[in-house]
Structure 1
Amino acid sequence: MANSTLSPYEYMDDTSIDSDLLCSICREPCKEPYYTPCDHLFCRQCITNWGGSRPSCPNCRKSMARNALRPATRIVCQMINNLRVKCKQCGQQNLLRSDIDDHIHSICPKSIVPCSSVNIQCPWIGQRDQLAEHLVHCMFGFLTSTTDEFNVNSQNFKRKLEEIEGKCKQEEITLNGMIEDMNETIQTTAAVKNIDLSTLRSKLDDSKRDIQSNTKRLNTLEQQVKKMKTESEYVQHEIDHTDKQFEQHERFDQ
């Protein structure tokens, strides 16, 4: 059995692998094993691509329909996943085949990885064990942390702005309710004979003071909203300015 040159791993002991677990098309332990209707085991990709428009089983030559293929049993899959492999990149041995993908993508020190600032176009790629040294000198990493800080501040400003706007709306509702109550009081009192003018004036004065107080609070909240919007716009301006400086720096480096 020959391991594919494109495979990032190789089997520790080819001779000990049960032949029933091998795909007769690629001659390797099945990847995503599937059964044919005649109960022969193959890699899903191998058997799906086999035979053109009139496929037949590679083992017994019985005709078959591709939609009749079915996944292997859990026990067979477990037997294949428990095979021991060696990472070709770093040489680590005795890995389970089921763990090799996670090893290569998350652990293997020789896997090729991009810089963590690839989202802002850092061009560096290299082995995972060289990444830490690169990050010490990566200008893109500094820009990422600065941008993240700006974004956090911007989110905080927006959250506070929403809180203040909510208070403004609540104050407006309260103020409108007080005005309605005052109008009802005036209408009710005016309808009563022998109206007590001094009492009515006192109630009106109290209502006016309450309205003035709430209007003042509303104005204060509106000023806070304007201030928060100005600060949020400033943060966004700083982010845009930093991005432009970085683009100019990148063009200069090129």
Structure 2
Amino acid sequence: MATARDTTVCDYDYMNDAQIDDELKCSICSEPFQNPVTIKCEHTFCQHCIGKWLEIHTRCPTCREKVINHKDDRKTPSWSPVTTHVVINQLNRLHIRCKHCQQINIERGNLLDHQSKCTKMLVPCPSAHNLCPWTGPRDKQADHIAICSFHELEPILSSLQVQLNNSIERQQQLLLELQKQSSLISFLYAFINKGNVMNTKCQTQTSSKSHECALASRKDTNKKRFPCVLCRKQVSKDNVSLHTCPSNNDSNYICRNCYDQHCHLKDNKDDENEDDDEEDDDAD
């Protein structure tokens, strides 16, 4: 059976282990609780210990009361954390000895603070992120840094990383610009499609037998769907904003949505106003 101390590197020993109250010890690993939890029969264990136990057994290791009823229950924790301050404080005040520097009488609750300063604690090179493999005692780290080629290259590697990040950002900007330009090119191609001008309204005499506009000549155009050359959607006649009309079998269309995205509506209105003025002049 794995114990709670197996879950992490054992960096310390307990001082006066025999004098520690048995009420503070896990009955599975026989050591002071690590992350204590209580199961429904109210017995307390290390979270790691009882978790491993319940992967195999269904009953409490102390009183044999059934804890798990179904296999699916193993996926759900069958315990609750111990949050009683009296118990937690007693565990945190247990005295330990650091195995690295041999300092004694460290309170267990202060272990992490001690490890952050321990001169014999094993630490990696500051340039480990640049793949330096060195690991050693903290008091030897400065000596290693003085001869570490990875650390000497740190400014160059950092500069290259910044340049790479800037290049990636610029590339993304260029891709967006390319998409915009591609959309604009598609729009312009639609305008000059096969040399035919795209109109907001049909300029062809529908009575002409040599040339008929597919948008204007058919009686069932209100029901017919027309494919937009930009977004490829099928739209109704009322939603066609621009079209070419060389023949019934060779016409292209731009829907209102694409037209609004790519055209200046003001310019279009100005063109329509000019057409209206010309019609008024002809009427006069």
**Structure with more of its chain in helix, by fraction:** 1
Q: What corresponds to 1:132 in structure 2?
A: 142
Judging changes above 3 Å, is the alpha-carbon distance between structure 1 residues 189 and 151 closer, same or farther for their aligned structure 2 residues? farther
Q: Percent identity among equivalent residues?
A: 31
Tell which has more relative contact order, 1 or 2 (C-alpha 8 A, sep 6+).
Answer: 1
Judging changes above 3 Å, is the alpha-carbon distance between structure 1 residues 179 and 31 closer, same or farther for their aligned structure 2 residues? same
Matched to 2:25, the amino acid is L
After TM superposition, give the deviation of residue 90 of structure 1 in Å: 1.7
After TM superposition, give the deviation of residue 158 of structure 1 in Å: 5.3
How many Å separate the matches in 1 of 2:49 and 2:106?
A: 25
Paired residues in the alignment total: 186
Question: Residue 107 of structure 2: which of 90, 96, 104 is its match?
Answer: 96
Gaps of 5+ in 1: 195-254
Matched to 1:153, the amino acid is Q
Partner of 1:24, secondary structure, is: coil
Deviation string 1:84-127 (CA, Å, 9 cap, x unpaired) is: 323221233443323324543x4322222222333332222211
How many Å separate the matches in 2 of 1:135 and 1:188?
A: 82
The alignment status of 1:82 with 2:82, answered yes or no, reads no
Superposition TM-score, scaled by structure 2 size: 0.50
Matched to 2:122, the amino acid is I
Q: What corresponds to 2:61 in structure 1?
A: 57
Q: What corresponds to 1:190 in structure 2?
A: 278
Partner of 1:116, secondary structure, is: coil
Judging changes above 3 Å, is the alpha-carbon distance between structure 1 residues 56 and 156 closer, same or farther for their aligned structure 2 residues? closer
Partner of 2:153, secondary structure, is: helix
How many Å separate the matches in 1 of 2:47 and 2:11?
A: 19
Partner of 2:123, secondary structure, is: strand
Indicate the larger mover: 154-163 or 83-92.
Answer: 154-163
The alignment status of 1:33 with 2:121, answered yes or no, reads no
How many Å separate the matches in 2 of 1:53 and 1:129?
A: 46
Aligned 8 A contact 1:21 1:41 in 2? no
How many Å separate the matches in 2 of 1:38 and 1:165?
A: 62
Matched to 2:139, the amino acid is D
How many Å separate the matches in 1 of 2:145 and 2:268?
A: 65
After TM superposition, give the deviation of residue 169 of structure 1 in Å: 6.0
Q: What corresponds to 1:143 in structure 2?
A: 153
How many Å separate the matches in 2 of 1:184 and 1:132?
A: 79
RMSD: 4.1
